[in-house]
Structure 1
């Protein structure tokens, strides 16, 4: 399995935390769930971190069967629609997003 994660490094604007989560749930999650080949979508919201650790208020984690399935999802029209929709989320966020792809070791 292939896992792609988007790390939102920075901070949600003060007082916008619930609006941020609502935007994700109502506008973005339906799009992410529509990615072709998607096996799982998880949204993680930070509740604590080590002292001095960078701030990741949200991490988006998606799972695919293979690297080819991930590549197809990243080229799909719904992915580009979700990127446009993410602009509204970024109006409530200061920071940047970086992506990492992992090979999930299954036991």
Structure 2
């Protein structure tokens, strides 16, 4: 399994947190869930962090069974639409976002 992670490094503009995350929920999440080949979408809103951690407001993770499915997602007609909405929502954000792709191994807890 591959996970494509988007890191939203920075901060939401003062007093705009609920608006930002409301727009993520209402405008972006429906698009992310429509991407072809995606098997899971996780949106993480940070609630605490170590004192010396970088400022991360949100993490988006999308799982794909393999590289072919990820490539289909990136070539999808939904991607430009998602990017345009992301750019509009980012006016409420001070910082940047970037992507990482990782190979995932899921471990079950020890008994």
* TM-score, normalised with respect to structure 2: 0.93
Q: Deviations over 1:43-98 (max 9, x none)?
A: 00011111111011100000001011001101101011100111111100000111
1:2 Cα shift?
Answer: 0.5
Structure 1 runs of 4+ with >3 Å offset: none
Matched, 1:69 2:69: yes
Structure 2 gap ranges (5+): none
Q: Deviations over 1:18-50 (max 9, x none)?
A: 001110111000100000001001100011111
1:106 Cα shift?
Answer: 3.8
Q: Which residue of the partner structure matches residue 100 of structure 1?
A: 100
Q: Which residue of the partner structure matches residue 13 of structure 2?
A: 13
Greater gyration radius: 2
Structure 1 gap ranges (5+): none
Q: Which residue of the partner structure matches residue 41 of structure 1?
A: 41
